[in-house]
A and B are shown apart, each in its own frame.
Chain A
Amino acid sequence: MSDWPADIFAALKALDVRQVAYVPDSGHARLIRLAHDDPSMRAVKLTTEEEGVALLAGAWLGGQRGVLLMQSSGVGNCINMLSLTRICRFPLLALVTMRGEHAEFNSWQVPMGAATEAALRLTDMQVVRAESPHDAGEIVQAAARMAFVGGTATAVLLSQRLVGAKVFVP
């Protein structure tokens, strides 16, 4: 079976990502562990996702690349802070694990999950989706190049089918 979180980690390493800001999500759990275990990366635990938008702006000011890991509910928390990204043209890279789609048991996740892609597009972020474990790493690497080399703020939505839906009730 493909180890797609390790592939994403390798893509981030290849693009010299140094600050990994996150609000945890089970879909990001392995990636977060890998970031914490890597001495060349600084994993920064956030209390809310918009902190990460601001953190990574500061990181870029100081010459470091970063990535923001969150689940789709966190995108809603970021909206006003993304004006910083847009007005200053910061090359934000965000990896968003999707909730509220494929086989979602918790209906409370559906409203923000359904609005996630449109909300990101409204803030001028480019949005790409990763659906398969076989190319998730490649898609993240391409998005990271768009951000850090091209200067385009980009979000990768990691689909719930890829990440795996939580099972509360059999």
Chain B
Amino acid sequence: MSAQLERRAVVAQMLAQRGDMAVVSGLGAPTYDVAAAGDHDRNFYLWGAMGGAAMIGLGLALAQPDVPVLVITGDGEMLMGLGSFATIGVQRPGNLSILILDNELYEETGAQPTHTALGVDLAAVAIGCGIADAQTIRAADSLAAFAARARRLGNAPAVAVVKIAPSSAAKALPSRDGAWIKRRMRASFGLTDA
């Protein structure tokens, strides 16, 4: 199977009916994809901290158990934080979903192949870490089902590795003011200090 989806369409579909969902985006193209889908008080865009997206999602999901939390990141960013799958597999929050946009490339840095181009299966790693609801998606109907799952509060975390085509989408650049983005998300939860 070599079918591939288009990343901007994938992210737009995931966020189309997001409701009160909070979103953490991994550095590089996933941050641009989430920004292109529309800025939101509950978007936390990373411009660095590679390998940290899933763990930020975990801390947020544990702190706000009634809010669906979606991490949208890339294969390279997830590979740098593989241990997070083990940590999340132990904590098992039902309001955390992770979408990995897998183009099998470090596209931002010159399109070098990642490990997922060379046999590494991120969904299998997640399953091996105790995240039973992990899958690789190549078709739009499976993506629609995952989007619906991500909007619900479940009993355990969910992971989807979505195979996407290389992209020439223009960069969509959200704010790089991390302190402001932080305060904005906290304010959306009624938290006013710092």
Interface residues of A, Cβ cutoff 8 Å to B: 18-19, 42, 44-48, 50-64, 66, 80-81, 83-84, 87-91, 151
Q: A53-B52, A54-B52, A81-B52 are in contact. List 7 more A-B contacts (CB 8 A).
A: A55-B56, A55-B87, A60-B63, A63-B186, A63-B191, A84-B48, A90-B182
Q: How far is the CA of A71 from the CA of B70 in the complex (A)?
A: 31
When the two chains form their complex, are residues A151 and B194 in contact, meaning their CB atoms are under 8 A apart? Answer: yes
* A contact residues around B181 at 8 Å (CB): 88
Asked if residues A89 and B179 are in contact (CB atoms below 8 Å), the reply is: yes
With contacts A45-B87, A80-B49, A81-B49 taken as known, whether A64 is within 8 angstroms of B63 at the C-beta atoms is yes
- Give the complex CA separation of A66 and B62 in angstroms: 11
Contacts of A50 in B (CB 8 A): 51-52
Once bound together, how far apart are the Cα atoms of A60 and B178, in whole Å? Answer: 13
B109: min CB distance to chain A, Å = 16
Q: How far is the CA of A131 from the CA of B4 in the complex (A)?
A: 58
Assembled-state Cα–Cα distance A43/B50 (Å): 24
In the complex where A45-B87, A54-B49, A151-B194 touch, is A88 in contact with B59 (Cβ < 8 A)? no
- Count B-side interface residues using an 8 Å CB cutoff: 37
In whole Å, how far is A160's beta carbon from the nearest beta carbon of chain B? 27
- Which residues of B are in contact with A by a Cβ distance under 8 Å? 22, 24, 44, 46, 48-53, 55-64, 67, 81, 83-84, 86-87, 90-91, 178-179, 181-182, 185-186, 189, 191, 194
**Is B48's CB under 8 angstroms from A54's CB?**
no
Question: A54 to B182, alpha carbons, bound, how many Å?
Answer: 13
